[in-house]
Amino acid sequence: MRVDADVDVEAKAGTWIEQSVAGARAELASAAPAGEPPRLAVVTPLRPVAPALASRDAPVEVELVGNQRITARNAERDVRHVTLALPERQFEYEPGDAIGVVLENPTASVDRLLELTRLDPSEPVTAGGATHTLREWLTGRREIARISRPLLERLATRSGSAELKAQLAPERSAELRGLIKTLQVADLLKRYPAGWEAAALVEALHPLAARLYSVASSRREAGDEAHLTVAVVDYRHEGERRVGPASWQLATTQPGTRLKAFVEPNPRFRVPGDGTRDLIMIGPGTGVAPFRGFLQQRIADGARCRHWLVFGGRHRERDFLYQLEWQEALKRRKLARLEVAFSRDQAHKVYVQDRLREHGRELYSWLEDGAHLYVCGDAERMAPDVHAALIDVVATHGKRSPEDATAYLGELAQAKRYARDVY
Amino acid sequence: MSEPSPVERIKRESRGLRGTLAASVADPTTGALAEDDAQLLRLHGSYQQDDRDVREERRLQKLEPLWRYMVRLRLPGGVCSAEQWLAIDAIARRFANGSLRLTTRQTFQFHGIGKGDLKSTMAALNAALIDTIATCGDVNRNVIASSNAVESPAHAEVAEWARRLSAHLLPKTRAYHEIWLDGEKLEGPAEAEPLYGTTFLPRKFKTAIAVPPTNDVDVFAHDLGFIAIVEDGRLTGFNLTVGGGLGATHGDPKTFPRLADLAGFLPPEALLAVAEAVLTTQRDFGDRSNRKHARLKYTIADRGLPWFIAEVEKRAGLKLGPPRPFAFASNNDRFGWQAGFDGRWHRTLRIPAGRIADRFDQPWLSGLAAIARIHRGEFRVTANQNVTIAGVEEGARAAIDELISSHRLDAAERGGPLRRDALACVALPTCPLAMAEAERYLPQLLGRVETLLERHGLAGIPLSLRMTGCPNGCARPYLAEIGLIGKAPGRYNLHLGGDARGERLNVLYRENLDEGPLLEALDTLLGAYAAERGPQERFGDFLWRTQRIGERRAPAA
């Protein structure tokens, strides 16, 4: 089962965990054949978000020393290689971890919201025991890009919009998800006009959450730096520019600027301690970030095993992230295999899962030899597609039924040899 | 004997130019080829290049260079049919950068082809009965021949010799068909190459046939040249020229441009045997350790012409006769309609730097395609980067003129002689050897030189100016009255004193000039020329007569 959560993840997660565990127990009890261990359900966990208090309370100052664009000038997406210089201690990370970056909303977005609501930016507002001006709340303390459900509910009441109320019905959740994906708070307030008082607005909005990015480096290689691979969210909605506050800020920050960040450990997504284990890393798009760190770590450790990277994007010449580094690793034989799928370089679209099927025999043989398998990137389509391809590969080349192939992957996961970091 | 250059090993181990080219082309992780394969690719008629305008930007983006391929056609004598023109046009639009480049070797180059489109390009060419074999690399390149070769029956005979010579000097390997045209894979050892052996030639090898009084091919700039001797309207034979070549390296006195020596006379039927003897002598005696010293000109300069002639005569099994008299009048093209001996007409269009593209107010690519759709004769690419619409019936001229005019294809012809005759190599952003701009900068520079000419009352005088982005000499700058040779971004060596017949090298006058000092130097000399020139005296001749460019070499008689 899947529940979409945003900044309200804790509330959602509580219910989800309870229901999932109950459901899983019931299913396992009924599905396990007598005498065999129960089959593990394969779940797609959302990346756990840092406990809000811990993350927000303990960030440290880091210096942004670079935000180099790493897609070509004619690429559809602007992806940045962000380099953070870390303070000497307080900032230990491992490849696989995420780094949370504390941000402010862009002034233009705040202004737009103020304009729409006709509220006075200097008005003091007290919430949760703290008092700041409305502008301060909207700039650094409240979420104004992502829409949350409580906001929708309050807005439905305030605006009296029957349409909005109807959209909140459970059977229309897919539609609502689409709405949340494309609109930012200001777009919503424009579409459903309502009177707002400053305090009510602040109260309706969620606290501004730090954005998490998979770290793309290993300290063994990067020293006192952490590298992030950031896709800049920047699009047009009804002719107007919309940006993701975090990526936009990272992309536009001048090198030398200090900002606050923290480590979000991800112990489930780690290079195996056993340096003889082969790695298969599947990471299209910015999903490749942790694998840059993995490879750096393993090269630095002098690990003597094979590494196989599967990367995907739209065009080889435009968005092959870290292409030069992978080529260098291939040349130095630190990367044994590099499979790429560029969806728009030929008439028919090709994705990473297609490459997995194409090279299924070798893939299966690597797994049989004890390889660890990692998937990172898009949770909505890529991860399920890749999972299905893996089932096919194991079924075809391991001569198993689809059910057994699924179980094989379940066992890999249980043995911590199949890990996913999808979002 | 020094070690052979690394390229020698690559050729030798390539199994008939196959190497691992097929695998390199198929490698999806890069737009480049493996290093050795990139070297071999040249002998298949293509250079791996990158867009130098974005090279540094992409390095910072952690992306490999924007690899692209230049593909050069084999077009002996520069002749192609109207159908072939349309096929070439379609490739330019579909696989290349939307433009065609006419070269000083009388052929077409495509630029900007991605690795994934190389095979499709070769296949499309093959469907039009064109190949690219041996148009680059250490091998006999595209054989060129005077383009006015339609003015008498002897000219047509010469064009046929160019085709036969080109075919005769082709490598025998089927690697081209195998790799690009999905031909049957060869099992076992490579085909024997009686002419080339396993290591081909030490360096490039260029062949030209000139038909006096036109020296449009600059025959003395070639390793191997033939000057057609036409007596009483009949081709009686050729004067052989050997050891010309223009490439040099900045700051390396062991390298130099050299005019070919006149070696003797041969009857037409001896042409293939003599060509083969010249080629194999160079194959066996050329320098294979230093590629900068590997052209035939150095072999002859080092061993002497008598030795060379004796070797060639021995190999060809004949004695060369004494050279027959000939006279060149010009190494330029003639524009506008010319009547042919058979009553048909030929019109040469001026294409600056040989670049045919659809530009805002000059849709030349489309214009020439439109002409190709109605033209029943052929096209001839000239060695001066222009194109001749050849073999037009009297009654078909008006329709062609109409298309020329509606597509403004006559725009460049209306400039003065300076603009009509200037040459530039491709240089930046595609040529990996370029040190400075050439094609992109030439129009601007010509405008400034024209201003100087006007100031000195010299507007409209014939004056040859040729520019290259490096000292390798693709636009034959060492033969121009004013030669500009790229040294660094925005900086050129100024060479002065060529003639307009391709019979005299110019000399280095000033080094490493940027535009200001360059124009100042020209301004002074043009001022003197305006004041002191004799009647009909050309700028290059004037500079020698008045000893303004030193006394290093006396002007040719």
pLDDT of residue A241: 85
Compute how many other C-beta atoms are within 10 angstroms of the C-beta atom of residue B174: 18
The radius of gyration of chain B's CA atoms, rounded to the nearest angstrom, is 23
Q: What are phi and psi of A237, to 5 degrees?
A: -125, 120
At residue A91, the pLDDT reads 83
Grade residue A90 by pLDDT with cuts at 50, 70 and 90.
Answer: confident
Closest-CA distance of chain A to residue B66, Å: 7
DSSP string, A363-412: HHHHHHTT-EEEEEE-TTTHHHHHHHHHHHHHHHHTT--HHHHHHHHHHH
| DSSP β-bridge partners for residue B47 | B70
- The hierarchical CATH code for the domain A107-204 is 1.20.990.10
pLDDT at residue A24 in the model:
63
Exposed/middle/buried for residue B394 (C-beta within 10 Å: 0-12, 13-18, 19+):
exposed
- Region B529-545: mean pLDDT is 96
The answer, yes or no, to whether residue A48 has pLDDT greater than 70, is no
- Answer whether residue A229 shows pLDDT above 60: yes
The pLDDT assigned to B408 comes to 97
* Chain B residues inside the 8 Å CB shell of A73: 54, 57
Which chain A residue shows the shortest CA-CA distance from B66? A317
Confidence of residue A50 (pLDDT cuts 50, 70, 90): very low
With contact defined as beta carbons under 8 Å apart, do B292 and B235 qualify?
no
> Which has the higher per-residue pLDDT, B420 or A236?
B420
- pLDDT, tens only, B172-230: 999 999 999 999 888 888 899 999 999 999 999 999 999 999 999 999 999 999 999 99
CB-nearest to A71 from B31, B61, B64 is B61
Chain-chain contact of B31 with A316 (C-beta, under 8 angstroms): yes
Name the amino acid, one letter, at B52. R
What is the tens place of the pLDDT at every residue in B220-257? Answer: 999 999 999 999 889 999 999 999 999 999 999 999 99
Question: Confidence class of residue A42 from pLDDT cuts 50, 70 and 90?
Answer: very low
Q: What pLDDT score does A49 carry?
A: 44
Structure tokens at B167: 């075919």
Asked if residue A41 has pLDDT above 60, the reply is no
User: Are B63 and A330 a contacting pair at CB < 8 A?
Assistant: no
Q: Is the domain defined by A60-99+215-227+246-264 classed in CATH 3.40.50.300?
A: no
- Domain positions in chain A are 60-99+215-227+246-264, 107-204, 279-422
Given a cut of 80, whether residue A43 has pLDDT beyond it is no
Burial of B353 (0-12, 13-18, 19+ CB in 10 A): buried
* Chain B nearest CA to A326, separation (Å): 9
Mean pLDDT confidence for B341-364: 94
Please give the pLDDT value at position A51: 37
* Interchain pair A324, B30: CB under 8 A: no
Residue A11 has pLDDT above 70, yes or no: no
pLDDT recorded at residue A52: 35
Please, is B476 exposed, middle or buried when counting C-beta atoms within 10 Å of its C-beta (0-12, 13-18, 19+)? buried
Residues of B in contact with A316 (CB under 8 A): 28-29, 31
- pLDDT tens for each residue of A121-150: 999 999 989 999 999 999 999 999 989 888
Reported as a single tens digit per residue, the pLDDT across A257-306 is: 999 999 999 999 999 999 999 999 999 999 999 999 999 999 999 988 99
Identify from A77, A82, A316, A354 which residue to disrupt to test chain B contact, counting B C-beta atoms within 10 A and taking the largest count.
A316
Q: Is the peptide bond before B352 cis (omega within 30 degrees of 0)?
A: no
Low-confidence winner among A404-413, B149-158, B188-197 (lowest mean pLDDT): B149-158
pLDDT at site B319: 98
* CA distance to partner chain B, nearest, from residue A65 (Å): 15
Give ∠ CA A133-A135-A139 in degrees, rounded to 5: 125
In the Cβ-directed half-sphere of B72, how many Cα atoms lie within 13 Å? 26
Nearest CA in chain A to B28: A340
The mean pLDDT value for B364-389 works out to 97
- Residue A304: per-residue pLDDT: 86
Q: What is the DSSP letter of A37?
A: P
Alpha-carbon gap, residue B309 to A134, rounded angstroms? 95
* Distance in angstroms (rounded) separating the CA atoms of residues B373 and B83: 8
Domain at A279-422: CATH code: 3.40.50.80
Q: Among A180-184, A400-404, B530-534, where is mean pLDDT lowest?
A: A180-184
Residue A45, pLDDT score = 47
* CA closest to B58 among chain A residues: A72
DSSP-derived 3-state class of residue B470: coil
Residue B113: both structure tokens together: 């082809």
- pLDDT at residue A180 is higher than 90: no
Contact A317 B114 (CB under 8 A): yes
Provide the pLDDT for residue A139: 94
Average pLDDT, chain A: 88
**Residue of B204, B80, B62, B79 lying closest to B144 (CA atoms):** B79
pLDDT score for A22: 67
Nearest to A73 among B57, B64, B114 (CB): B57
Residue among B455, B339, B355 nearest B412 (CA): B355
pTM for the predicted model, two decimal places: 0.89
pLDDT attached to residue A18: 67
Active site residues of B: 72, 141, 204, 206, 425, 431, 470, 474
